[in-house]
Amino acid sequence: MLSKKFFAVIALIILSVSLSLSLAAQTKEDDEVIKVDTALVNVPFSVSDREGRSISGLSLQNFTLFEDGKAQKIEYLSTQDTPLNIVLLMDTSQSAQEIFDKIKNAAAEFIKQLRPADRCMVITFDEAARVKNEFTNNQKVLDGTIRKTALSQKPGTLMRDTINVTINKELAKIRGRKAIILITDGKDAGSAISKNDLLYRLAESDAPVYSVVYESARILFPNMAQNSPNTKPQTYQMSQKQIEQIKAEHQKKNIEAADFLGKVSEVTGGRIFRQEINNLAEAFNGIAEELRKQYLISFYPNDENYDISKHQIKIRVDKTNAVVRMKNYTLLK
């Protein structure tokens, strides 16, 4: 007859095995929870050569992803071929007077490159921002909107305010791929939002900004001021030194405007095109090509509450003379 001690030992062994199996199952379950709850992080980017021409056809093996300086496993690489939602922002202030027809022609040609599923919204800005048409894929409507757009006769260029409204109101409710194409000389006059505040808000958005920047050649000397019909035209005598100072200040503003728009494009993962007036169409062609050839890298972070804006993400490509361009969160840190 078996003793009570023997049965006690058997019971202890059974309990130990049960606990081990339970812990193993719990561990497996926890691992599965981590995999399910950790969101896949998607990083869109573009690759181009030193001349700015987009490079397509690269594979996962061509890329290395770094997070805070440490290489991370890339789960997926894909090319983005989903429909586009594009906002066309057109500067309709007086500074564009001499070249506005060329701007409209180039913008209209760009619209023709959109695919049937792509949508576009047109917004103009001068002393106010105006939505000329809501998102549509009707190219006749878009072409008509662009052709009918006219310059404002009032002073003011609310460029920064218009960009801010676009990302926080018009694009915030749009899902899928989106981008802003900004056509301007970059000179703001009257916006409430500061440069730094706009950059921070752009860093939180998911829309790259492609800036097509032209230098306004028109310089308003004092004797070019508008006079009332009931008054005699006023004549100003200016020295050569004064003329040169005005020209220098004008050029300084051109440089400052382009520098700021360069930061806008960098922080959003877009691009700036500083074009000659007669080459605006070339800039639009470059934007269309790049939007079609974007890549998307995906990886699983270690933190289920991951915030990509708090990390330095870099992508390296193993091609000579190739440049990776992506959103730059660190620009503001």
Instruction: Give residue-wise pLDDT tens across range 223-271.
Output: 544 445 555 555 557 788 877 887 888 788 888 999 999 999 989 999 8
pLDDT of residue 38: 58
Q: Which residue has the tokens 């926080």?
A: 168
Specify the DSSP class assigned to residue 234: P
Is 28 among the domain residues?
no
Integer Cα distance of 170 and 164 in angstroms: 10
- What is the average pLDDT across 136-164? 95
Examine the domain organization and report whether 98 and 196 are in the same domain.
yes
Question: By the 8 A CB rule, do 189 and 162 touch?
Answer: no
Structure tokens at 244: 């040169």
Q: What percent of the chain has pLDDT over 70?
A: 79
Integer Cα distance of 329 and 215 in angstroms: 28
Examine the domain organization and report whether 111 and 197 are in the same domain.
yes
- What is the average pLDDT across 123-144? 96
10 pLDDT band (50/70/90 cuts)? Answer: low
Is 32 among the domain residues?
no
Element spanning 296, H or E: strand 295-299
144 pLDDT band (50/70/90 cuts)? Answer: very high
Is 278 among the domain residues?
yes
Look at 17-31, 61-75, 204-218 and tell me which has the smallest mean pLDDT.
17-31
Q: Which residue has the higher pLDDT, 122 or 99?
A: 122
Is 16 among the domain residues?
no
Is 227 among the domain residues?
no
Integer Cα distance of 160 and 118 in angstroms: 26
Examine the domain organization and report whether 285 and 302 are in the same domain.
no
Examine the domain organization and report whether 248 and 328 are in the same domain.
no
Identity at 139, one-letter amino acid code: Q
Q: What percent of the chain has pLDDT over 90?
A: 41
Examine the domain organization and report whether 283 and 300 are in the same domain.
no
β-pairing, 313-317 vs 63-67, is: antiparallel
> What are the start-end ranges of the H helices in 149-293?
159-165, 195-203, 240-268, 280-292
Examine the domain organization and report whether 309 and 256 are in the same domain.
no
Question: By the 8 A CB rule, do 220 and 190 touch?
Answer: no
Examine the domain organization and report whether 250 and 207 are in the same domain.
yes
Look at 25-29, 35-39, 283-287, 290-294 and tell me which has the smallest mean pLDDT.
25-29
Look at 26-35, 172-181, 223-232, 283-292 and tell me which has the smallest mean pLDDT.
26-35
Across the chain, what does the average pLDDT equal?
A: 82
Residue 56 has pLDDT above 90, yes or no: no
Which residues constitute the domain of residue 71?
39-80+294-332
Residue 89 has pLDDT above 80, yes or no: yes
CA-nearest of 327, 324, 285 to 63 is 324
Number of structural domains in the chain: 2
Residue 127 has pLDDT above 70, yes or no: yes
Examine the domain organization and report whether 60 and 143 are in the same domain.
no
Examine the domain organization and report whether 75 and 89 are in the same domain.
no
Is 9 among the domain residues?
no
Is 131 among the domain residues?
yes
pLDDT of residue 19: 44
Examine the domain organization and report whether 68 and 46 are in the same domain.
yes
Is 283 among the domain residues?
yes
177 pLDDT band (50/70/90 cuts)? Answer: confident
Examine the domain organization and report whether 154 and 133 are in the same domain.
yes
102 pLDDT band (50/70/90 cuts)? Answer: confident
CATH number at residue 283: 3.40.50.410
Q: Which residue has the higher pLDDT, 225 or 65?
A: 65
Task: Say what the pTM is.
Answer: 0.76
pLDDT of residue 52: 79
pLDDT of residue 34: 39
Examine the domain organization and report whether 116 and 194 are in the same domain.
yes
pLDDT of residue 139: 95
284 pLDDT band (50/70/90 cuts)? Answer: confident
